Amino acid sequence: MRNITLLTLVASVFTGKALADCWATALGYPCCKFTKEVVYSDADGDWGVENNNWCGIEADCWAEKLGYPCCVSTTDAVYVDNDGKWGVENNNWCGIIIGSQPQPPTTTRTTTRTTTTTQKPTPTGVDCSGKTLKSNTTLNIGGRKVIVKFPSGFRGDKATPLLINYHPIMGSASQWEGGSQTAKAALNDGAIVAFMDGAQGPMGQAWNVGPCCTDADDVTFTRNFIKEITSKACVDPKRIYAAGFSMGGGMSNYAGCFLADVIAAAAPSAFDLAKEVVDAGRCKPARPFPILNFRGTQDNIVMYNGGLSQVVPGKPITFMGAKNNMKEWAKMNGCTGSPKQNTPGNNCEMYENCNGGVKVGLCTINGGGHSEGDGKMGWNFLKQFTLP
């Protein structure tokens, strides 16, 4: 407690602007007045929703550095000191954002307030205090390497989405961290990205997607990594996503079967679910699972129309085929009607009437071979979804 000489504003009528213009007004959107809940984040800033319209969430105000919230529904200055102008909301002190322009105070008096600083949970309900991992690092999870990359300017003070990106067969975390366009799009949009090492198999590092291509328990490996990273970095546990190319795309599909309780959505490239897994009834997502697959019509490794592959010695696998893979996901998600064409892009199709509000899509690259799909499109699909 400390004594401070303060000014009080009694029964004044505010005649200025309700809130100073924030960054969103330059983009044609209002500032959020009553909400701090972040619904969506992009390069411009954090977005909320008020009255069914997008609004821009203003940057943290000066009061938060002292352990107090910003005022979000009042601009009446009750006290003023050397720190700034203070209001009261829900019987608690709050700092009026600079630029709110209340009328000049008319009376002086002395009072006290406590200035103990405490870190509050972020708007998503994730408490970032004590989570000190904020820069690129390499973790060891059960003897395997995971490279974690943080977006530019990451401060670790708000819950951040995480993309888990699985490498292709014969690849590695080190090889794939510089090659994925989906990872690049996610990092540029402010997400954390993890590149995990597959286990050694007959043809180098790979993933266990059922009948092929290692005997490792990659589901548990992924769960253990999620537990580790969420304990060390300010990751939003409701916005963890999966993507990957080739066998990494297979692991992304497979994750939907066995990790839907911790992964919000997937955007695989150049792989299907294994027919052996589907026919055995092993793919049982814990909830409706959003997924967008990218497939090339001239892929001579994972054939667009499906079929048996014996590329890996002793590990034959039967691919569903691009169209059947989409239909199987639509069936598991209870989708009805026909897929919407050219959504989210040309030569894409999307089931939009599915259980839980999820979507199931396929983007076909006509004449495309064995390659990663549109990374930005994949990331934009993923970030629509959060775990319930």
Give the pLDDT confidence score for residue 111 in this predicted structure: 32
Give the pLDDT confidence score for residue 22 in this predicted structure: 72
Residue 52 CB partners (closer than 8 Å, separation 6+): none
pLDDT at 100 > cutoff 60: no
pLDDT band at 68 (very low <50, low <70, confident <90, very high): confident
Give the pLDDT confidence score for residue 14 in this predicted structure: 27
Lowest-confidence region among 22-36, 200-214, 271-285, 337-351: 22-36
What mean pLDDT value characterizes the chain?
Answer: 84
Give the pLDDT confidence score for residue 294 in this predicted structure: 99
Radius of gyration (C-alpha) of the chain in whole angstroms: 25
Which CATH code of 3.40.1350.10, 3.90.1220.10, 3.30.70.100, 3.40.50.300 fits the domain covering 23-95?
3.90.1220.10
Lowest-confidence region among 5-14, 241-250, 295-304: 5-14
pLDDT at 123 > cutoff 90: no
pLDDT band at 55 (very low <50, low <70, confident <90, very high): confident
Domain range annotation of the chain: 23-95, 137-383
Neighbours of 235 (CB within 10 A): 25
pLDDT at 83 > cutoff 90: no
Residue range 171-199: mean pLDDT, rounded: 97
Residue range 52-75: mean pLDDT, rounded: 73
Residue range 220-245: mean pLDDT, rounded: 98
Residue range 306-325: mean pLDDT, rounded: 94
Give the pLDDT confidence score for residue 11 in this predicted structure: 27
Distances (CA, A) of 54 to 29, 69, 100, 122, 190: 7, 22, 21, 19, 19
Q: First-to-last CA distance in the chain?
A: 42
3-state secondary structure the chain: CEEEEEEECCCCCCCCCCCCCCHHHHHCCCECCCCCCCCEECCCCEEEEECCEEEECCCCCHHHHHCCCECCCCCCCCEECCCCEEEEECCEEEECCCCCCCCCCCEEEEEEECCCCCCCCCCCCCCCCCCCCCCCEEEEECCEEEEEECCCCCCCCCCEEEEEEECCCCCCHHHHCCCCHHHHHHHHCCCEEEEECCEEECCEEECCCCCCCCCCCHHHHHHHHHHHHHHHCCEEEEEEEEEEECHHHHHHHHHHHHCCCCCCEEEEECCCCEHHHHHCCCCCCCCCCCEEEEEECCCCCCCCCCEEECCCCCCCEEECCHHHHHHHHHHHCCCCCCCEECCCCCCEEEECCCHHHCCEEEEEECCCCCCCCCHHHHHHHHCCCCCC
- The residue among 209 and 12 whose pLDDT is bigger is 209
Which residues on adjacent β-strands are paired with residue 365? 296
pLDDT at 156 > cutoff 80: yes
pLDDT band at 76 (very low <50, low <70, confident <90, very high): confident
Give the pLDDT confidence score for residue 218 in this predicted structure: 98
Contact 257, 240 (CB under 8 A): no
Angle at 171 between CA 169 and CA 175, to 5 degrees: 155
Give the pLDDT confidence score for residue 98 in this predicted structure: 55
Which CATH code of 1.10.510.10, 3.40.50.720, 3.40.1010.20, 3.40.50.1820 fits the domain covering 137-383?
3.40.50.1820
pLDDT at 60 > cutoff 70: no
Give the pLDDT confidence score for residue 59 in this predicted structure: 64
Lowest-confidence region among 97-111, 138-152, 229-243, 286-300: 97-111
Give the pLDDT confidence score for residue 296 in this predicted structure: 98
Lowest-confidence region among 58-67, 259-268, 315-324: 58-67
